[in-house]
């Protein structure tokens, strides 16, 4: 689609001829009742010629009841067909990513945002539907995605809220700086990415000239040259792009990438070349849990056996923490209402994800959906075979550390460090992370507690994802391809600074890639080097900066207190 700003002298008739469409289609896409009245500066969504709904009948794939969708009328790639949660069948590209066409008659006429349709302006949403379907293993078609977005605040005007769209499949999305290396790593891991392209020079497209979005699914070689494969919402088919000076070029209208790139995190994607499918049972954690809309199949009551699962005896609600909360989370994972990845964003913390999972479990098992765990919810778990009480879920072993009183702490002369030193020591005693490293990271990552992320989200460590209090979207600088770039990302939000410090220690302890660091808990400098080497930050000077802060303020004295 194209977004055009009306200029003096423009008419809908002239614009229709210029963009190879019709006055009625432009009027319909923009809710214009009088085609003779447009104003200078008015933003118009221009339906692209290739975005019109197909008039050619398509072959039905599976059930067509309930507004069912038809399979796109093109040959299947070697990934084979997939079915959504309603049993409708779609062809896939060679890597197994569904090939959806935004103008498909089954959903093309659905209203998109506040004044257009999927057919006219749904390329970004359709491209995202394809990507998250592959990554999550669920076939979520554009009609289902649009329904989810309508009820979850997924549009700003006609603009797509990327992360909301990803959440339909239990994932998250973020815009990244343009990098073929990023694309390569993602698609090689079986994770499609969405990129912006310019296909109509001078059309006045959006940011960076983007007037269309496509889903890059893989790469290979043709004629000895590197090529990339993408699913195109305009055609509903797989296309081939070539690398021309770092830009991807090709497709039906000689698309040219504009530098806009969206990647998706979370989920457990199938290996490249395999076919995504709707989970056979709701107990598979890799489906991204259930969201109620967006194509996810809700578990049926008593469908999953929870024999051998232990559930907590205490009543729990949002804001509670501890082993019994983690016990509940593990039961929800087993039942298919949370994923391990979701739990890992806040193990033992009853946050918004746990609350949403409890509500969904309650709704599916005849319990009032209030999001609190109590006697009725406990009884519903017991009906599935779970037992109350017993041992709590196993967690990674933590260092045995002293638990004596912290007492009065030495002053460093830095107000921020002096204010949070006790929290760093508590984290060391719980997780083994040297307090000096924690304090240096907090100071560096949060600008001594003055950063927007720290003030808005109580996040002092730049940890991305969902926290106990949700997330905060902030611009952040990343060192990519030898230069600094600014990208938007979601960061964990906490209810208090102490919660941030505790989660930081758990984050390092529970993440296997930082395992080598825990061989050096008695050497702060080496610990800092190891977490840097494992990828905590992209700044090439990150560990040197941490060590400099540790030395400047004599922070290793707090490590000694942490061992007492």
Catalytic residue among 146, 503, 530, 559: 503
DSSP 22-76: -HHHHHHHTT-S-TT---TT-EEEE--GGGSPP-S-----S--TTTPPPPPSS--
The encoded tokens of residue 549 equal: 């802060």
Residues 6+ apart with CB under 8 A from 392: 310, 323, 324, 326, 327
**DSSP structure class, residue 52:** S
Q: What are the E-state strand segments in 301-376?
A: 310-311
Which residue shows structure tokens 């598979």? 284
Phi–psi pair at 47, nearest 5 degrees: -65, 125
Q: Could you tell me if 150 and 187 are in contact, meaning their C-beta atoms sit under 8 angstroms apart? A: no
**DSSP structure class, residue 58:** -
Report the alpha-carbon distance of residue 350 to residue 320 in Å, rounded.
Answer: 5
Q: What are the E-state strand segments in 266-413?
A: 310-311, 387-388
Catalytic residue among 478, 499, 530, 559: 478
Element (H, E) at 232: strand 225-232
Report the alpha-carbon distance of residue 456 to residue 188 in Å, rounded.
Answer: 36
Pairing of strands 387-388, 310-311: parallel
Helix, strand, coil tally for the chain in percent (to 5): 35, 20, 45
Residues 6+ apart with CB under 8 A from 96: 77, 79, 80, 82, 134, 270, 272, 273, 274, 275, 276
Q: Is residue 408 annotated as a catalytic residue, yes or no?
A: no
Among candidate residues 211, 338, 325, 230, the one with its CA nearest the CA of residue 284: 338
What count of other Cβ atoms lies within 10 Å of the Cβ of residue 284?
Answer: 14
Among candidate residues 461, 422, 431, the one with its CA nearest the CA of residue 443: 461
What count of other Cβ atoms lies within 10 Å of the Cβ of residue 340?
Answer: 13
Phi–psi pair at 130, nearest 5 degrees: -65, -45
Q: What three-state secondary structure class fits 261?
A: strand
Which residue shows structure tokens 């049926």? 300
Query: CA dihedral in degrees (433, 434, 440, 441; nearest 10)?
Result: -10
Residues 6+ apart with CB under 8 A from 468: 319, 346, 349, 350, 351, 352, 492, 493, 494, 495, 499, 503
Report the alpha-carbon distance of residue 294 to residue 522 in Å, rounded.
Answer: 49
Pairing of strands 172-176, 255-265: antiparallel
DSSP 103-119: T-TTTTTSEETTTEEHH
Task: Give the dihedral sign, CA 395/399/405/411.
Answer: negative
Pairing of strands 237-244, 155-156: unpaired
Tell me the catalytic residues: 478, 503
């Amino acid at each position: 689609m194209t977004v055009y700003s009306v200029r003096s002298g423009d008419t809908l008739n002239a614009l229709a001829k210029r963009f190879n469409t019709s006055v009625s289609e432009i009027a319909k896409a923009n809710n214009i009742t009088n085609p003779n009245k447009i104003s200078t500066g008015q933003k118009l969504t221009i339906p692209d010629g290739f975005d019109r709904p197909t008039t050619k009948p398509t072959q039905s794939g599976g059930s067509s009841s309930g507004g069912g969708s038809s399979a796109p009328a093109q040959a299947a790639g070697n990934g084979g067909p997939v079915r959504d949660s309603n049993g409708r069948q779609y062809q896939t590209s060679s890597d197994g990513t569904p090939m959806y066409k935004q103008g498909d008659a089954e959903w093309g006429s659905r209203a998109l945002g506040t004044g257009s349709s999927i057919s006219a302006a749904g390329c970004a949403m359709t491209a995202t539907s394809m990507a998250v379907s592959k990554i999550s293993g669920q076939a979520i078609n554009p009609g289902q995605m649009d329904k989810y977005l309508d009820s979850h605040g997924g549009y700003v005007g006609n603009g797509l809220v990327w992360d909301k769209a990803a959440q339909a499949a239990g994932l998250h999305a973020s815009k990244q700086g343009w990098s073929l290396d990023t694309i390569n790593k993602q698609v090689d891991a079986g994770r499609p990415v969405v990129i912006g392209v310019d296909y109509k020079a001078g059309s006045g497209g959006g940011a960076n000239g983007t007037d269309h979005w496509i889903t890059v699914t893989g790469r290979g070689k043709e004629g000895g040259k590197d090529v990339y494969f993408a699913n195109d919402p305009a055609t509903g088919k797989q296309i081939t792009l070539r690398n021309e000076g770092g830009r991807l070029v090709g497709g039906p209208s000689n698309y040219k990438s504009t530098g806009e790139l969206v990647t998706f995190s979370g989920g457990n994607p199938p290996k490249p070349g395999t076919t995504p499918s709707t989970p056979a049972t709701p107990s598979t954690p890799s489906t991204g849990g259930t969201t109620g809309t967006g194509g996810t199949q809700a578990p049926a009551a008593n469908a999953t056996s929870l024999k051998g699962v232990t559930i907590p005896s205490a009543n729990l609600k949002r804001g509670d923490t501890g082993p019994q909360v983690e016990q509940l989370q593990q039961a929800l994972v087993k039942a298919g209402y949370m994923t391990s990845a979701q739990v890992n964003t806040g193990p033992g913390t009853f946050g918004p994800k746990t609350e949403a999972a409890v509500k969904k479990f309650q709704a599916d098992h005849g319990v009032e959906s209030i999001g609190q765990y109590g006697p009725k919810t406990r009884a519903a778990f017991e009906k599935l075979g779970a037992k109350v009480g017993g041992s709590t879920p196993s967690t990674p072993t933590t260092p045995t550390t002293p638990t004596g009183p912290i007492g009065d702490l030495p002053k460093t002369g830095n107000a921020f460090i002096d204010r949070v030193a006790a929290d760093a020591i508590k984290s060391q005693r719980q997780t083994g992370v040297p307090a000096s490293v924690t304090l240096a990271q907090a100071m560096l990552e949060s600008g001594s507690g003055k950063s927007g992320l720290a003030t808005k989200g109580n996040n002092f460590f730049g940890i991305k994802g969902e926290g106990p209090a949700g997330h905060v979207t902030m611009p952040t600088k990343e060192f990519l391809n030898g230069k600094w770039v600014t990208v938007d990302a979601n960061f964990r939000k906490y209810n208090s600074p102490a919660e941030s410090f505790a989660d930081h220690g758990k984050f390092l302890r529970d993440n296997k890639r930082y395992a080598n660091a825990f061989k050096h808990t008695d050497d702060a400098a080496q610990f800092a080097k190891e977490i840097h080497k494992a990828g905590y930050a992209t700044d090439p000077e990150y560990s040197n900066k941490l060590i400099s802060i540790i030395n400047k303020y004599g922070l290793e004295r707090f490590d000694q207190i942490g061992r007492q």
